[in-house]
């Protein structure tokens, strides 16, 4: 009987641990050089600032929409070093396709 209770307690404990969701993506922080681009509303993307990260796969860079870009960095064509994490969510930019939304952790200005 003690074994059954002990086994049940251990199983319940393991189940509780496995069902917890981790919201913080801070362990998956990426740091790269990038450029802040102001995207005028020519399609359904809207008037938004986008982050274009240098990419070996794409000569035009990888475009992201930041969910938390501070107003002091909202300047067109600003060169930066950015630390960010992927949110797993996307912003619909119409003809431009879906752009992945990122969470900005740190920005260092390289050139204004």
CATH topology of domain 29-111: OB fold (Dihydrolipoamide Acetyltransferase, E2P) (2.40.50)
Q: What is the pLDDT of residues 56-111, one digit of tens each?
A: 787 788 999 999 999 999 999 999 999 999 999 998 877 778 889 999 999 999 97
> Each residue of 18-48: pLDDT tens digit?
444 344 445 699 999 999 998 776 655 666 8
C-beta contacts of 89-97 below 8 A and 24+ residues apart: 91/45, 91/48, 91/65, 92/44, 92/45, 93/39, 93/43, 93/44, 93/45, 94/43, 94/44, 94/45, 95/43, 96/43, 96/45, 96/63
Rounded Cα distance, 27 and 55, in Å? 21
Can you give the residue ranges of every domain in the chain? 29-111
């Amino acid at each position: 009987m003690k074994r059954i209770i002990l086994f049940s307690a251990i199983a319940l404990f393991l189940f509780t641990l496995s069902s917890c969701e981790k919201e913080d993506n801070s362990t998956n922080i990426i740091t790269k050089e990038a450029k802040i681009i102001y995207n005028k509303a020519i399609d359904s993307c809207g008037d938004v600032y986008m982050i274009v990260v240098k990419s070996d796969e794409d000569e035009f860079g990888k475009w992201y929409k930041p969910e938390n870009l501070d107003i002091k960095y909202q300047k067109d064509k600003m060169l930066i070093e950015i630390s960010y994490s992927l949110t797993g969510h996307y912003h619909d930019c119409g003809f431009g396709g879906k752009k992945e939304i990122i969470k900005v952790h740190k920005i260092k200005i390289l050139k204004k």
